[in-house]
Amino acid sequence: MKILIAADTYAPDVNGASYFAQRLAAGLAAEHEVHVLAPSRSHHSTSAQATGGVTEHRVRSMPVLLRRGFRICPPAGLQRRVRAVLRTVRPDVVHIQSHFLMGRAVLRAARALGIPVVATNHFMPENLLHYVPGGAAVRRRAHAWAWRDAARVLALADVVTSPTPFAAALAESAGVPGPVLPISCGLDLDRFSPERDGARFRRSHGLPSVPVLAYVGRLDPEKNVHELIEALALVRARWDLHLLVVGDGQERERLEALAAARGVAGSVTFTGVLSDAELPEAYAAADFFGMAGTAELQSLVTLEAMATGLPVLVWVYGGAYRLGSADAPDYNGGALARTGAVVVTANHRVGVEGWAELDGAPANRALLDVAATLRWVQEEIAAFGGDPAQVTLFGESAGAGIIAGLLVMPTVTGLFSRAVLQSVPGTWFTPELARDVTAELVAPLDLPGSAAAARRRPAAAAGGRAGPAGPPAAGAGPLGPGVAHPRRRSPPVVDGQVLPTDPWTGLSAGAARDVPLVVGHNRDEWRLFLALGGQVGAVTEQMAATAMRVFGPGPTPETRMRAAYPEAGPEELFVLAHSDRMFRVPSLDLARAQTAGGGRARPVRAHLARAGRRRGGWAPATPSTSRWCSAGWTSGSGCSWLGSPPRRAVEVSAQLQAA
C-alpha cells in the first residue's frame, strides 16, 4: 500500500505529535511505501528519501516567533504544492496528524482527488491559550472557536482517531462527528524498559544519591514546570529530593531563576535536550516522574516513564495461616529495593478473622485482603516508580498457600504476572470441614459460628491478638504439635465462590498458564517446628518410625526412607518425613500441575550443608537451614535468629535476589 502522512510538526521538532508521526512512518515503511509531507527547515521545498525507506516531501516554511524552533507553512502556495505532491505520489490513503495549515491543505486536496483520509487529533486548545493575549473572557472565546475550527476540518475526514478514550470523547463533545476511534500512540518498548542503566546516567550528570523526581518535555508555559519547582521547595523543608528537568524551551531561563529564588538551585538539574540513546536512561535514573501539564491527550513521556518503571515485588508473609505481620524484621524489603525493584509489603487478616467459616461473612477473607493489595498496586504503583505490568507475588509457607489460591481466583486474573512460592502447604478445607472447625473453635465461648456473634464478643474472650504458637494441646499425638489437631488450623476454604477450586486442580486445568512460577521448598522444613515444639533431641526411634509409616512414600515407606538416607538418625528421618508430607510434595505437585495445564514452573530445593554432621545423626537443630530463614535469604534481610549468617547463606541470598 502507498501511504502519505501529513504532519504540521515532524523531525527534528521535539513534541509528542512529532515523535508519533516519525514512529508511525518508520513502522509502516517496513511493509508499505510511505511518504511524509511536513514543513521544511528553510524557505525552500524539497523531496528526498530519508533513512528507513521513508520519502520526505518538505514544504517551504517560516519560523514561529512565539515558539522557538517551531515552523509553519505559510498558506500562500501551500495548496498548490500539496496538490502537486499528491498527484505525483498517488497514495492509496492519506493520514493527517492535525487540522492546522498542512493538515487541512492535504485533507482538502485529498478529497478533491478522491483519496480516503484518516485524521488523528493530537490537539487541545489549552496548549495554545498561554499565547493568546487578553484576559480570561478572551481565552474562553478563543477556546470555543478553536474547537469549532477543529471540528469543522476533521468532519471532512473519512475516519477520525485520537490517542485515548478520553481524548476521543472530548473531540466528539466539541462537535467532531463520531465515532472518534481511540487508538493509542504506542511506544517503542525496545527503547524504554526497566533494563536501562539509570546508575550510569546519575554518574554522568552528577545526580546525588537521594530520591530523584524527573520531568521530561518542553519547557514552555503550558507545561507548568514552575509548579514542580515550587513544590520542590516545599518538599525539601522535610525530605531530601532532587529534581531532574529534561528538555528545553522558552521558559528555561525563568525556571532556573525561579529555582535560585526559592533556594533550590542546587537541587535541580537542567539537562537540555538529550540524545535518543540517553533519554531512556534518564527515566531509569529517576525514582518518581512528575507531569504538571493540564493539556495532555495521552502524554507520551508519561508512557515512556511507565515503561521504564521498575519491577514490582509484592510479599505475602506466612505464619501457618494463624499469625504473622508484614513488618517482621526478616521481611524488610530494603535490600531487594536496592537491587532495582519496588517492594510492597502489606498486612492481611490471619487466624479466625482471616479464614474461619462464619455465617454472614465472606469466606477466605485473607485472600480478599491480598487481592485488595494487588488492586491497589495496579492503581497506584506507577507513582512509586513501579511498572504495574511487572508485578511478581512472592511468599513462603502460608503466604505461598495464599498465592496458590490467588492463582486460581478469576477475580485477580491479570493483577500479577509472575509468582514465587516457597514451601507451599498442602492443607485446604472443604466448607463442611471448615464449619466443623469453626464450631469447635467457638464452642468454649458458647457462641454460634457467625460474624455477628464474633463482633459482639470482646477480643479478650476470644483469646486476644494472635501470638506465637503455644505448647501442644493436651493429647497431642506422637507426630508432634499441630499435626493431629486440625482445629488449631485455619487454612483456605474451597468455598466455590471466592475460591472456586483448589490450586492443584485449577492449575492442571490451565487457570494460570500465563503466569510463570518458581516453586521452592527446603530439605529440612520441619526443623523449625521441631524447635518450636520443644522436641529437639527428644525424637525417639518409635516417633521416627511412625512418621515414616504415616508420611513416607509408597507401600513400604519406612524401608524406602531408611534406604534413601542410610546415615540419618531418628531425628533427621522424623524431620524429613514431615518436611516431605507437609511442604515438599505439595510444592512439587503444584509445579507439576502448572506444567500439566500448559504453564511454566521451575521447582527449586534449598539445602545448606550443616557443619558437624556425624554418622548416625546430625548436628543440633538451628534455624539456619530450616524454612524460617528462606524469607530472609530471598529479601536479603538475613535471618534475625542467626545474627551473622553463614557465608554460603549470603551467597544463596545474592543469587535469589539476582534471579
CB neighbours of 278 closer than 8 A, spacing ≥ 6?
201
Q: Tell me, what's the pLDDT at 657?
A: 52
Question: Cell triple for residue 629?
Answer: 530463614
pLDDT tens, 402-446? Answer: 999 999 999 999 999 999 999 999 888 999 888 888 888 777 777
Rounded to an integer, the average pLDDT of 576-593 is: 91
Q: Tell me, what's the pLDDT at 586?
A: 92
Q: What is the Cβ-side half-sphere exposure of residue 604, based on CA atoms within 13 angstroms?
A: 17
Q: Tell me, what's the pLDDT at 245?
A: 98
CB neighbours of 316 closer than 8 A, spacing ≥ 6?
348, 370, 393, 394, 395, 399, 400, 402, 403
Percent of residues in the chain assigned helix, strand, coil, to nearest 5: 40, 15, 45
Rounded to an integer, the average pLDDT of 322-344 is: 82
Quote the crossing angle between the two packed helices 557-564 and 570-579, to the nearest 10°: 110
Residue 471, pLDDT > 50, answer no
pLDDT tens, 226-236? Answer: 999 999 999 99
pLDDT tens, 497-508? Answer: 999 999 999 999
Q: Tell me, what's the pLDDT at 474?
A: 30
CA–CA dist 405, 129 (Å, integer): 53
Q: Tell me, what's the pLDDT at 475?
A: 30
Cα dihedral 234, 236, 238, 242, rounded to 10, equals: 130
Cross-strand bridge partners of residue 49: 55
Which of 133-137, 372-376, 593-597 shows the lowest mean pLDDT across its residues? 133-137
DSSP state string for 107-118: HHHHHHTT--EE
CA–CA dist 597, 50 (Å, integer): 49
Model confidence at 633, pLDDT cuts 50, 70, 90, reads very low
Model confidence at 533, pLDDT cuts 50, 70, 90, reads confident
Q: Are 314 and 622 in contact (CB under 8 A)?
A: no
Nearest to 587 by CA among 522, 511, 527, 652: 522
Q: Tell me, what's the pLDDT at 109?
A: 97
Rounded to an integer, the average pLDDT of 394-401 is: 93
Rounded to an integer, the average pLDDT of 550-575 is: 90
Q: Are 216 and 222 in contact (CB under 8 A)?
A: no
Domains of the chain: 2-182 (3.40.50.2000), 198-307 (3.40.50.2000), 310-430+491-610+619-658 (3.40.50.1820)
Secondary structure of 131-157 as H, E, C letters: CCCCCHHHHHHHHHHHHHHHHHHHCCC
Q: Are 599 and 509 in contact (CB under 8 A)?
A: no
Calculate what percentage of the chain has a pLDDT beyond 90: 47
Where would I find the beta strands (DSSP E) of 453-516?
none
pLDDT tens, 447-457? Answer: 676 666 555 55
Give CA 268 to chain center in angstroms: 28
* 464: number of Cβ within 10 Å: 9
Question: Cell triple for residue 314?
Answer: 509484592
Residue 469, pLDDT > 80, answer no
Question: Cell triple for residue 509?
Answer: 486445568
Residue 597, pLDDT > 90, answer yes
List C-alpha distances in Å: 441 to 231, 430, 447, 471. Answer: 54, 16, 9, 17
Nearest to 270 by CA among 301, 232, 244: 244
Between 67 and 175, the more confident residue is 175
CA–CA dist 170, 326 (Å, integer): 44
* 240: number of Cβ within 10 Å: 11
Q: Are 580 and 586 in contact (CB under 8 A)?
A: no
